């Protein structure tokens, strides 16, 4: 694959996980009442952001009525509300909200992706689904590698999925592998790898992850990537 645009097209057409294909399409048919006028995307959600991004953010998987509805990462759900507000606050996005694929949102030097591209039931992909989806992340990391300087991983699931993907993409991953933690920073073969609690409602509603904490990690990761943050 020569380009991220080509990769994104191919991801969006993937049907390798029968359980997730069935779920994403069923959610698209049954919908949530508040979104009954929407035509759900109901397909794999590709990464979002420029192909020459020096900073990548890796989450978990699209939300059933968020990315699976709108077709863009973290767009149209509470987790995305928190993430995009923080990206805007530190100068890495041109607007603080994300509601649809044509809302004009642009990221500055940031590419957002996930180790699993289809919405899973209860936000829980199986280890087998994670492994089946890994080649897409490996390809994305390879294509980003020339410009990539830092990676921020949201949550332990993403961390566990990202480290083997880095190894498969050609990075030298230190052993034993560093355990995930909020604020963890690991030098990884020319890039800086950061851990951050996931922006899930469970973490943000309980105060486990506050907007201040998220902004701080984004600033640090942005600076490590050579981006202008505020
Ligand atoms: S989760 Fe990944 S591998 Fe599985 S169907 Fe979706 S895009 Fe394909």
Q: Could you tell me the distance, in angstroms and rounded to a whole number, from the CA of residue 126 to the centre of ligand 1? A: 11
- Helices 127-144 and 4-12, axial angle in degrees (round to 10): 160
**Closest residue by Cα to residue 80 from 66, 69, 60:** 66
Mean pLDDT rounded to a whole number for the chain? 97
Please write the tens of the pLDDT for every residue from 74-108.
999 999 999 999 999 999 999 999 999 999 999 99
Which CATH code for domain 4-224? 3.40.470.10
What is the maximum span of the chain, computed from C-alpha positions, in angstroms? 50
Would you call 101 helix, strand, or coil by DSSP?
A: coil
Please write the tens of the pLDDT for every residue from 130-167.
999 999 999 999 999 999 999 999 999 999 999 999 99
Confidence of residue 174 (pLDDT cuts 50, 70, 90): confident
Per-residue confidence (pLDDT) for residue 186, from 0 to 100: 95
As a whole number of angstroms, the distance between CA 92 and CA 106 comes to 9
Confidence of residue 35 (pLDDT cuts 50, 70, 90): very high
Per-residue confidence (pLDDT) for residue 2, from 0 to 100: 78
Question: In the chain, where are the structural domains located?
Answer: 4-224
Q: Does residue 210 surpass a pLDDT of 80?
A: yes
CB 91 within 8 A of CB 30: no
Write down the pTM of the prediction.
0.98
DSSP codes joined into one string, 15-47:
---HHHHHHHHHHHHH--GGGTTS----S----
Per-residue confidence (pLDDT) for residue 165, from 0 to 100: 97
Q: Could you tell me the distance, in angstroms and rounded to a whole number, from the CA of residue 43 to the centre of ligand 1? A: 9
Q: Which residue has the CA at smallest separation from atom 3 of ligand 1?
A: 133
Share of residues in the chain with pLDDT > 70 (%): 100
- Structure tokens that stand for 184 in this block: 């963890």
Asked if omega into 138 is within 30° of 0 (cis), the reply is no
Q: Which residue has the CA at smallest separation from atom 4 of ligand 1?
A: 17
Q: Show the ligand 1 pocket: residues with CB < 6 angstroms.
A: 11, 14-17, 20-21, 44, 116-118, 129, 132-133, 136
CB 162 within 8 A of CB 184: no
- Structure tokens that stand for 198 in this block: 């996931």
Only one residue has tokens 């509470």, namely 78
CB 171 within 8 A of CB 189: yes
């Amino acid at each position: 694959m020569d380009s991220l645009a080509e990769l994104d097209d191919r991801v969006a057409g993937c049907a390798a996980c029968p359980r997730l294909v069935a779920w994403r399409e069923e959610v698209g048919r049954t919908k949530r009442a508040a979104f009954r006028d929407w035509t759900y995307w109901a397909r794999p959600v590709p990464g979002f952001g420029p192909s020459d991004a020096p900073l990548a953010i890796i989450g978990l998987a699209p939300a059933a009525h968020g990315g699976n509805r709108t077709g863009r990462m973290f767009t149209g759900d509470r987790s995305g509300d928190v993430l995009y507000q923080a990206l805007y606050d530190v100068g890495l996005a041109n607007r603080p909200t994300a509601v649809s694929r044509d809302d004009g949102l642009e990221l500055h030097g940031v590419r957002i992706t996930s180790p699993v591209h289809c919405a899973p039931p209860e936000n829980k992909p199986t280890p087998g689904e994670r492994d089946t989806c890994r080649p897409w992340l490996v390809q994305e990391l390879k294509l980003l590698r020339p410009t990539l300087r830092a990676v921020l991983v949201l949550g332990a699931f993403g961390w566990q999925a990202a480290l083997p993907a880095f190894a498969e993409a050609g990075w030298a991953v230190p052993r034993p592998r560093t355990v995930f933690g909020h604020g963890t920073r690991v030098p990884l073969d020319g890039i800086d790898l950061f851990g951050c609690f996931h922006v899930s409602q469970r973490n943000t509603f309980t105060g486990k992850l506050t907007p201040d904490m998220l902004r701080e990690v984004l600033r640090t990761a942005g600076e490590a990537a050579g981006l202008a943050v505020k």
